[in-house]
Chains A and B, each alone.
Chain A
């Protein structure tokens, strides 16, 4: 494996960076050796983003040095970073959706003919060479990028970086939006790049990936460097403790509560094309995990139960009574709540305050004759802030300024204000940091303890396995497997998700 004896290809030393009102980095040092995967860990706000933006030339450090191959360089802009062979793949992929794979890969440095025109055949051929070099055989260089899956778009970004002879690749939460299958393929690509001697700075909230992939790990907290360790010298608990500065007893504080009568029953629910006859039961106090690949029909099932896309056939029973859910308003009235997958797009109204967001799902309840009762509304918002420990300057704070974890708590609070019997959570902890994640998991346990029936959709298997009383696996619009808490293991659930065809070695 890698040894730390090789001189680093990129070394940052004593980096500080301040923004108005915030000291984002306080004397941070970081280096990456050739052919090394160096993971960068930290909660949101720890300074990871600032550090990678300094490496990629987006921000300029206030003090500190940056050395490339042992020589100090002045990193004055993204252009310098590119010349130094540093490429960054951000969470939001920066591609041109209307252009083809080849055009995207060579945007800005396309091969030219001697007349100065674009050399299309050469561009396509070079793009193909890059594809082959990474063993990607299901991507056509002439395909329009907008039609590709997230996983494939990410591969295009990687190709773009390689086409510029990147020696250092910075990946900012590359697996956040990927399916399990795409994650495995990404890992394969990362390993291949490492063999070629490309250095990789890898940022992820998923600790298990770090143990699979990384050689060394650096932890930041509050803009300070906490530690850099070889991955083999650390473990999960150690990393979490370094990140949050305290011990979190358990990441999945599942508490066992008595499970009662069925609250939500779904029978042969059909909504083409994504929901093709699904049946399930969730009981009071029970957390049922819904595992499946993105596109398997998990979220679509949730939205059909919630009346966003009403069912074409099949039955929904609440508390044993057959009900008709034709709209979101119906679902709300019946005591169904749905915390959507993407809080930015579906959950929050960003320009609104905490108070306005907290009452949005119960506007009619806080109004009398259509007039909002300000006092009732304020009470509701204050109660949510207290109950969920939302860290905010006050209920008149605009929600957009809050951290992802706090935003998610507001969305959760908004829906719990409807006093639901059934709570559907779609990716409840995606993209939020470890501390907030543990808090949300703890809350889920408490809510189940109060007799709520919880249906949780998650792409993170550890979360599904850690939080669920039962796990259902969805594939191609059908529920294909059911596991009790005792039966559910990573391998069995993953195999059911993939349809038993996937036997590629997962390094886990």
Chain B
């Protein structure tokens, strides 16, 4: 026996956890540690509000991750979400059928993103410049169109983000939570978590991850982001691929905007400050290389959850929420260091 063991090659322990597993461990650690300090942090009410309030960030980060994998970036996404939310609310208040109040902003989002994509793909303007321009246009436009007035008085059915899973199956007044049947009451906390934004987040993340991994189109995004010239010589045109990337990004941004707009009863004419940076942070911390060519959307969604949980945790351990930015910064640095370490191992250093 001992002889066979001695013959086994000495296997050196290697740090080879994927970013996704690291994030899961990080999230679990955070909940355990902060939960021990303040048990109310892990109460299902708090989990629900963390997820509910931030699911749209994760949805937007999916699109952002696709864009970054393709070797680009979009810093207009935050202000676009703000504009789309106002449009959505205004349409609902004007009496447009609720479905169109949701769908029209999504279509606009896809068109705006494809316009930006065309500038990047065909005119070869760096995406950071294109989206910086769009950011200014949208920010200025939003304020002058809405005059800074908040939008309210949308019909109850408009508030998609307040729906629960059960509302889909059990007729209940939208916006009001359906009564959970007696037989399922044990599962009630779980159903509470599955609000519409969380369902969107789960399905869109898994769907996008599957698309990126298993389709020729998804593969072409990695190819163009990893080496556009090599991809072109393989018959994968950079231009068309980038148009597709921005259209996909537009779809996710539009959906994120609808989730953002339909959650509160009043739509402010502003979005959380630096929303685009939070979204980009989620992508980067999720393991998407800022150089393009690598990363997954599962990572970015986990990172969005981690960032949201840190924000909430700061409150529960009585640290000023202003430190959230600093915490995000530390996360980025740790991620980049881990990334450098992994790239060295794979011989990708530099």
Contacts and interface: CB of A to CB of B under 8 A. Distances in A.
A349 B223 contact: yes
Contacts of B222: 349, 351-352, 356
A338 B235 CA distance: 11
A361 interface: yes
**What secondary structure prevails in chain B residues at the interface with A?**
helix
A285 to B, nearest CB: 25
Interface stretch (B93-101, B105-113, B209-217): B209-217
B348 A351 contact: yes
A360 B347 contact: no
Contacts of A340: 230, 233
B219 A347 contact: no
Interface in B95-128: none
Contact of B229 (A345, A356, A371): A345
Q: Which of B229, B234, B294, B347 has the most CB of A within 10 A?
A: B234
A363 B236 contact: yes
A484 B216 CA distance: 45
A360 B215 contact: no
A303 B247 CA distance: 31
A360 B289 contact: no
B347 A398 contact: yes
Contacts of A401: 346-348
A370 B216 CA distance: 5
Contacts of A348: 227, 230
Q: Which of B233, B235, B236 has the most CB of A within 10 A?
A: B233
A130 interface: no
Contact of A400 (B229, B232, B233, B346): B346
A361 B234 contact: yes
B293 A351 contact: yes
A323 interface: no
B91 interface: no
A367 interface: yes
B235 A329 contact: yes
Nearest to A343: B230
Interface in A364-389: 364, 367, 370-372, 374
B131 interface: no
A332 interface: yes
A155 interface: no
A206 interface: no
A54 to B, nearest CB: 20
A401 B234 CA distance: 22
Contacts of A400: 346-348
B223 A350 contact: no
A350 B232 CA distance: 15
Chain A, interface residues (CB within 8 Å), range: 20 to 34
A332 B233 CA distance: 10
A371 B230 contact: no
A351 B231 contact: no
Given A338-B233, A398-B348, A352 B216 contact: no
A11 to B, nearest CB: 33
B229 to A, nearest CB: 5
A209 to B, nearest CB: 29
B244 to A, nearest CB: 12
Chain B, interface residues (CB within 8 Å), range: 20 to 34
Contact of A352 (B226, B233, B235): B226
Contact of A349 (B216, B230, B235): B230
Contacts of A437: none
Interface in A333-354: 338, 340, 345-352
B235 A367 contact: no
B220 interface: yes
Contacts of B236: 360, 363
A350 B235 contact: no
Contacts of A308: 232-233
A465 to B, nearest CB: 28
A316 B66 CA distance: 39
A328 interface: yes
A347 B230 contact: yes
A329 B240 CA distance: 13
A478 interface: no
A414 interface: yes
Interface string A391-429: 000000010110000000000001000000000000000
B233 A372 contact: no
Contacts of A360: 219, 223, 230-231, 234, 236
A503 to B, nearest CB: 39
A356 B220 CA distance: 10
A348 B230 CA distance: 6
A351 B349 CA distance: 11
A342 B13 CA distance: 36
Interface in B1-40: none
Contact of B214 (A350, A351, A352, A372): A372
A277 to B, nearest CB: 25
Contacts of A352: 222-223, 226, 293
A168 B246 CA distance: 54
Contact of A328 (B214, B235, B294): B235
Contacts of B234: 328, 360-361, 363, 414
A72 B263 CA distance: 75
B226 A328 contact: no
A350 B226 contact: yes
A308 B230 CA distance: 12
Nearest to A306: B233
Given A351-B293, A351-B348, A356 B219 contact: yes
Cβ-closest 6 pairs across A and B:
A401-B347, A349-B226, A351-B293, A361-B234, A349-B227, A329-B235
6 contacts: A308-B232, A328-B234, A345-B229, A346-B229, A363-B234, A398-B348
Interface of B: 214-217, 219-220, 222-223, 226-227, 229-236, 289, 293-294, 346-348
Interface of A: 306, 308, 327-329, 332, 338, 340, 345-352, 356, 360-361, 363-364, 367, 370-372, 374, 398, 400-401, 414
Given A352-B223, A363-B220, 16 more contacts: A308-B233, A328-B232, A328-B234, A346-B230, A347-B233, A349-B227, A351-B293, A351-B348, A360-B223, A360-B236, A372-B214, A372-B215, A372-B216, A374-B214, A400-B347, A401-B346
